[in-house]
Amino acid sequence: MHKASRVLAQGADFVLLGPERTMLTAAVPVLSVCAVRTGCGKSGVTEYIWEFLNRQGIKAVVIRHPMPYCDLSRMRVERFATMEDLDRYLCTVEEREEYEHLVAKGIVVYAGVDYEAILREAEKEGQVILWDGGNNDFPFIKPDLEIVVLDPHRSGHESRYHPGETNFLRAQILVANKVDSARKEDVEVLKRSVRTHNPRAAFIQTASRIRVEKGDQIRGKRVLVIEDGPTVTHGEMRYGAGFLAAQQYGAAECVDPRPYAAGSLRIIFANYPHLEKVLPAEGYFPQQLNDLETTIRQVPCDWVLVATPIDLSRLIKIDQPSLRVSYRVEDWEGPKLSDSIKGFLRQKNLID
């Protein structure tokens, strides 16, 4: 609020427009999936819901929060249905991390900058719209059901950051993801926070199952872990799914990439000193991709574990043997998210 103070000191107004003033209204049912911080596993929850809707015979399309990193004039309405679409729109690594894993499952994703036009196109294609939120923002489209994802690895953050706290307080369903890898005491802290700040919300726990095909090959080996960039940079996580996978599959060591960082990656490590054992997948511009490729090549390791949601080998050359880490949201003990979605569909007369 420092900028707000400067504005007010000059006698001008500083206004935060609320959801009711900014949300568009859709002609079809809308479920929103937002989060309190980046890296909570929100997109995995979106996948879970889309797959459930698909099993019910309901066609859903995803509208993604904007990622305006390029030429806005060509980003008015973007529709991603194939990997070639990602290339055609010149998507950055960060955009691909949000779109590619959905497209790979056959999910159509809309994004861009003109959300009135985006919404009207999506309505033609889907019986249900899934809003996949980003930057911890609240939805641009008025949801009929608001689902917000929490991270027990960062208990307390749900009330510490704006606008994630807004999502936390508005949510009708709060999903504590990654409970399978979190400490029980941290999950309990999260439960108390929910009871204190949003007791009317349904509280559901999910696991984020980590898998590495042929992961036994890294047992006893030195690995370089590449993580989803936003999660471990401004998301403030010291590690992500890649580091947990290295532990799970018995790697001997996660090599510190900092001494081998090239170009812009040196700046990244300087700006985020909490990063010690993982390399963030950064690629906002071509030179940064080159820096990422150079950094990977310079790290002395037996294997590279790629835990970003994208196929990084489509963008850069990785000289060392590499394995991809995948993670999937699954039901945990207690109430099931699928049961809540089923109840919503019945309310909307979409299923019997």
Listed as ranges, residues in the chain with pLDDT below 50 are none
Q: What's the mean per-residue pLDDT of the chain?
A: 95
User: What pLDDT was estimated at residue 160?
Assistant: 94
User: What pLDDT was estimated at residue 284?
Assistant: 80
User: What pLDDT was estimated at residue 263?
Assistant: 95
User: What pLDDT was estimated at residue 131?
Assistant: 98
- Number of Cβ within 10 Å of residue 155's Cβ equals 21
Class of domain 19-207+330-347: alpha beta
* pTM: predicted TM-score of the whole model, two decimal places: 0.93
The domains of the chain are located at 19-207+330-347, 212-328
Tens digits of residue pLDDT in 23-79: 999 999 999 999 999 999 999 999 999 999 999 999 999 999 988 777 787 889 999
User: What pLDDT was estimated at residue 118?
Assistant: 97
